Amino acid sequence: MERLPQLLDLLDEAKRKFAPDAQAHDEIVAQLLARIERLQAEAGAAKTPEPTQVSFVAPPARARLDSEDLDERPRGGADDDEYDFDLSAFVHTMQRHGEGAEITRDLNRLLTMAENKLDDLSELEGAALREAAVELAILAGRIHGASRAGR
């Protein structure tokens, strides 16, 4: 009984902090117990990791992007150098150049050709630079194919 005043003071403090709507001491204790149970449940839930779901289903196939699917930008009377990178024109040019070119599967020869073409780029301007870039891109595609075939 000698500690009863301290107990009542602690209950009043708990009422102010954690159970402001409690009217009596038993309600304070009941709200504190409910709070403890809720916090323990939350802590337990936080410790339980969500199960990892693994799906072995193949992702849906994406439609192939062809040059016909790309929008052509209308050409005005301005010089081509003023235009930004135009992917559809680039792809079209690559297709035109790639159709008649000799195809080699020799990876070393392709690498040498790409090296030489790359060295030439710094000396070119305008249309010649664009044509060389297309030829380099075609070589890159052939290098990719030859390196896959050599596996």
CA 34/CA 2 separation, integer angstroms: 28
Question: Within the chain, where are the H helices?
Answer: 4-18, 25-47, 87-100, 107-121, 126-149
DSSP-derived letter for residue 123 is T
What pTM, to 2 d.p., does this model score?
Answer: 0.40
E strand or H helix at 10:
helix 4-18
> For residues 70 and 88, is the Cβ–Cβ distance under 8 A?
yes
Predicted local distance difference test score (pLDDT) of residue 92: 72
Distance CA 64, CA 102 (A): 26
Question: Mean pLDDT of successive 10-residue segments in the chain (151 residues)?
Answer: 89 90 91 92 81 76 60 51 61 71 77 85 83 84 79 51
User: Which two structure tokens, joined as six digits, stand for 113?
Assistant: 């050709």
Nearest to 101 by CA among 121, 122, 117: 117
- Torsion, Cα of 98, 103, 105, 109 (10° steps): -90
Q: Where are the domains of the chain?
A: 4-47, 67-149
Tell me what pLDDT residue 64 has.
63
